[in-house]
Amino acid sequence: MREALNISSAGWLTSAPIPISHYSSILSAFIPGTAKVVRFTGPHRFYRAAGWDSTKGGMASRYGSSWADEEILVQIGSKIEMFEGWLPEKFLQKAWPAQYRGMTSWCEDWNDMRKIYRLELSAGEVIVGLVGSAQPQKSTMDAKARSTPMFQGGGEQVFFKRTRTLNSINPLWIFPVKTW
């Protein structure tokens, strides 16, 4: 279940117990005016791609802040299903991560999506996040090259608070999955 809360995005981001000091950089990842504070009550599922991040020289954390509501993957799947039987299976398998990457504006140099994790809230468990539409972004590969990909964004993304020492996500909620 989702419930919008009556609190400003900046107010929530800077509030205890996990205050985010660089909140403007978080808000800049959303299309202006779309970020809303939402309480999620389980049962509910979210997914996160956590692959190789070449900008940091290591794997992205399975406990990171950026997630997608399961409903987003259901929407992608329903669009791809209409091409079953028309396109070879290998193209359909590549369409899932390509659509997901484009909607969420996750550049390949930030995340190669080699691992997928599910955050699963059991009945009655609660987590609060910032939900909004992803801002279009250009890859950081070579910002001046015309061949550098631009990601359309517009897909819903969910941000959960996290600092070096605190995380709003219970690690017992995270499970590796094979999605595509």
Strand-pair category, 150-151 with 137-138 = antiparallel
In 14-150, alpha helices (H): 23-27, 70-81, 89-104
On the question of pLDDT at 29 being above 70, the answer is: yes
pTM given for the model: 0.85
pLDDT at 139: 59
Give residues with Cβ within 8 angstroms of 35, minimum separation 6.
Answer: 9, 27, 130, 131, 132
Instruction: Compute the average pLDDT of residues 107-118.
Output: 75
pLDDT digits (tens, 9 = 90+) for 62-96: 998 989 999 887 887 788 888 888 888 888 777 77
Q: What is the DSSP letter of 65?
A: S
pLDDT digits (tens, 9 = 90+) for 129-164: 999 998 877 656 565 666 655 666 778 999 999 988
